[in-house]
Chains A and B, each alone.
Chain A
Amino acid sequence: MKKFMMIFIGADYGELGLSPEEIQERMQKWFTWHEKMASQDIVVSGEALKPEISTISGKDKVVTDNVAVESKELIGGFYVIKAANLDEAKVVAQDFPDYELGSSVQIQEVMEFDNF
C-alpha cells in the first residue's frame, strides 16, 4: 500500500458567502465522504485548515501575517490516505464534495524511505 496526500484548494466557505443551510449541506457531504473512507479503513490522517495565513520567507526570515492569497488558491485542508496506486487515489478523490464550488483536489504520493 502506498500513501497519497489529497490537498484541497479553493475558496473558504466564509468567502463564498454560503448560507447556514448551505454550510450544513457542505458539512453533511464531507461527513459522508469521511465515513465512506473510514469504513474502507484508508484514512491515515487529515485536517481542515483555517484561512488565516502567516508566511516566513527569505534569508532574513521575514514574517508576514495575514497573507493575502487569491481565495481560489487557498489550501482548505488535506487527507493522507492509503491506496494501491495513483489511479485508486484518484477514484477516492472523485467524492470530494466541493468541486461544485469551484474547488479542486491536488493528489501527490507520499515518499516512503523504507529502503534506507
Chain B
Amino acid sequence: MQYEVIDHLFRHHYGKMVSILTRIFGLAHLETIEDAVQDTFIQAARKWRTTIPENPEAWLTTASKNRVLDIFRQIKSSKNRETLVSSSAEAMHMTELFLDTEIEDSQLRMIFTACHPQLQQVDQIAFSLKTVAGFSSKEIATALLQKEDTIKKRLTRARKTIIEKQLSFSIPTGSELQNRLDITHKVLYLIFNEGFHSNKQEILIRKELCGEAIRLTRLILKKNQIRNADTYALFSLMCFHAARIDSKTNANNEIIDLKHQDRSLWYFPLIELGNSCMFKAMDTKKISSYHYEALIVSEHLKAKSFEDTNWNTILNWYLKYTNDFPSPIIFLNQAIVYLQLNDLVSCHKILKNHTERDFNQRTYLFHGVWAEYYIKKGDIIKATSYLNKALDQVSNTSEKQYLLNKKKEILNPN
C-alpha cells in the first residue's frame, strides 16, 4: 500500500517538534533540540525509502518523542541535570504537550520568542524562518538574497541573545503582549513582502515565503485571546496579495503592472477569505497600516478591469493613510493615484515635496513616477531623462526591463 506524504510535512513538522521540545527542555537547549529533530527526519528518509507509514506525521511525532526521551536520559546522567526538566511530574505531562492545541501553543511561544524586542529585526526574521518555519540557513539565504554565512551569523547571534538575556519561552500578557504582537505582525509582514515584492528569486521560493507568512499569521488568528484587529487586517492583506501572485509576472519573470495583469488568473477563494477577515478587522477604533494597505488592495481587486478602478475611493484611503502614517513611499503611491485621476497639480506637489534621499534603494521608483508625470504632460524629453535616472539606479532585472520597455514605448509610440 502506498501512502502520500503531504507537501512540506517535514518542514512544518520541524517547527512543531522544535517548539514542543523547547517547551519541555527550555530555550537553553535549543541547538541540541534542533539537531535531534533533524536526526529524526534523516532516520525517516532512510526508513521510508521502501514503505511510507500509514500516518507519516504520527510516525515523526513518535520518533521525535522517543528522541526526546533519549536526550532526556543522556542529559540526566550527565552533570548538568539540574538545568533540565526538574520534576518527573513535568515529564509526565509530556504526552499532553503533543496534543494539537498544545503544539500550536508551543509554536506561538516560539514565534513570540523569535520576535522578542531584544533581538534585532534581521535576526528576528532569520530566526523565525529557521526555528518556526523549518528553513535551513541555506534556504533562508536564498530566500532573503543573503550569503549563507550572513544568515548563520544572524542565527548564532539570535541564539546567543536568547541565552544571555535569559528570554522566557512564553506568550507575554497585557501591554507586553500588544507590543510583542506589533513586532510579530511586522516580522510576518516583512517575510511575506520578501516573497511577494522581490522579483529576484524563483517564483517557487517566493511562494513558499508567502505561504509560510500566511500559515504563521493564521496560527495567531486561531487564538482569540491573542489576535487583534491588526492580525485580521494583516491576514486579509496577505490573502489579497497572494491571490494575485501568479498574474504579477510572466513566464520570463518580468513584471506585469496592474493595468496589464490577466485578472482571470486571480484566485478568488483567497480574495473572499480576505474580504471576510476584513470585516472582522474593521471592528476596531485604531486603524493600522495593514488595514489601509488591505483596503487599498481590495479596492483594486473589486475592479473587473483596470479601467473600472475606482480611483476616487482609493485616493480617499491614501489621504487617510498618509495622514495617519506619513511616509515617502506611501506619498509616492498617492502621487500615482493623482496621475490616474489626471490631477497633475496634486501629483506634482507631492513629487516636489520629496527628494531622492527619501527613498533609499528605491529612488528609481521616485524617478519612475516623475517620468510618468511628464509622460502625462506630454513632455517626452523630460520623461526620458527621468527614465534614464531610474534606469541608473534600478538593480532588479525585471524592474529594469519594465523601465526599458516603458522608454521604448514613449520613444516609439505604436
Contacts and interface: CB of A to CB of B under 8 A. Distances in A.
A22 B39 contact: no
A46 B5 contact: no
Given A14-B39, A19-B138, A20-B38, A30 B49 contact: yes
Nearest to B136: A19
A48 B47 contact: yes
B139 A48 contact: no
B134 interface: yes
A13 B136 CA distance: 13
Interface stretch (B9-17, B263-271, B281-289, B320-328): B9-17
A18 interface: yes
B135 interface: yes
A34 interface: yes
Tell me the dominant secondary structure on chain B's binding face.
helix
A19 B5 contact: no
A44 interface: no
Nearest to B17: A20
B10 A31 contact: no
Nearest to A33: B49
Given A20-B13, A20-B41, A20-B134, A35 B2 contact: yes
Contacts of B139: 19, 21
Given A13-B42, A14-B39, A14-B42, A20 B10 contact: yes
Contact of A19 (B2, B50, B135): B135
A38 B9 CA distance: 25
Contact of B42 (A21, A23, A35, A46): A23
Interface in A55-71: none
Interface of B: 2, 5, 8-11, 13-14, 38-39, 41-42, 44-50, 52, 134-136, 138-139
